[in-house]
């Protein structure tokens, strides 16, 4: 086993500041959405993804990929969004195991109501403290981190799916998938 590549003192400080800043930012945005709109950030992000999709609809598997979420976790969120009337599932006519998530008019209205406060909180807490050069650097840094993580996360999700850990749930009333 090789020796770990320990962080330098500077790297350790930067890592801890970054981890604390991202945790605090996430907690602040989560609290703002809960307080102002009564929805968790996860639901907001699902609604945003559907609102930006053609026809306000995505396959559940595609929505999970767009949200970098497991299918199981996404299915729970969509179930709760269905209960609110904000999303509905539709069976896929070409794949009995597949399902579509569709943003309803009520869901779009909820998103329209939540967006101004959320965008204001993002602006105030993330962008306002930075100057233009720092915003540009943050964009470059974020892109580099994502480029390094996406292949690893995609491989992990594919391994989970291959192991049968995250099946795509069928919509209510759909026939069970055929074996074979």
- Taking 70 as the threshold, does the pLDDT of residue 80 lie above it? yes
pLDDT of residue 152: 81
pLDDT digits (tens, 9 = 90+) for 3-62: 999 999 999 999 999 999 999 999 999 999 999 999 999 999 999 999 999 999 999 989
Q: What is the pTM of this model?
A: 0.79
Partners of residue 99 on adjacent β-strands:
91
- DSSP-derived secondary structure letter, 125: I
Q: What percent of the chain has pLDDT over 90?
A: 69
- Reply yes or no on whether the pLDDT at 174 is more than 60: no
What SS3 class is residue 85?
coil
Question: pLDDT (tens digit, 9 = 90+) per residue, 105-123?
Answer: 999 999 999 999 999 999 9
Q: Residue 161: which pLDDT band, with cuts at 50, 70 and 90?
A: low
Q: Could you tell me the pLDDT band of residue 179, with boundaries at 50, 70 and 90?
A: very low
For the chain, give every domain's residue range.
29-130
Query: Which overall architecture, per CATH, does domain 29-130 show?
Result: Orthogonal Bundle (1.10)
Measuring CA to CA, which residue among 96, 101, 100 is closest to residue 177?
Answer: 96
Distance CA 64, CA 116 (A): 25
Q: Report DSSP letters for 36-56, one per residue.
A: HHS--HHHHHHHHHHHHSGGG
């Amino acid at each position: 086993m090789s020796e770990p590549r320990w962080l330098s003192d500077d790297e350790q400080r930067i890592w801890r500041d970054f981890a604390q800043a991202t945790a605090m930012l996430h907690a602040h945005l989560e609290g703002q959405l809960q307080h102002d709109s009564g929805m968790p950030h996860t639901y907001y992000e699902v609604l945003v993804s559907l609102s930006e999709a053609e026809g306000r609809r995505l396959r559940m598997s595609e929505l999970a990929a767009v949200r970098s979420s497991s299918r199981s976790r996404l299915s729970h969120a969509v179930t709760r969004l269905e209960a609110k009337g904000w999303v509905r599932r539709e069976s896929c006519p070409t794949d009995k195991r597949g399902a579509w998530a569709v943003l309803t008019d009520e869901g779009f209205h909820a998103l329209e109501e939540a967006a101004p406060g959320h965008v204001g909180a993002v602006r105030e807490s993330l962008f306002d403290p930075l100057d233009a050069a720092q915003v540009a650097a943050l964009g470059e840094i974020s892109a580099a981190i994502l480029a390094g993580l996406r292949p690893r996360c995609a491989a992990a999700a594919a391994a989970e799916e291959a192991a049968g850990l995250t099946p795509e749930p069928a919509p209510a009333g759909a026939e069970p998938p055929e074996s074979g």
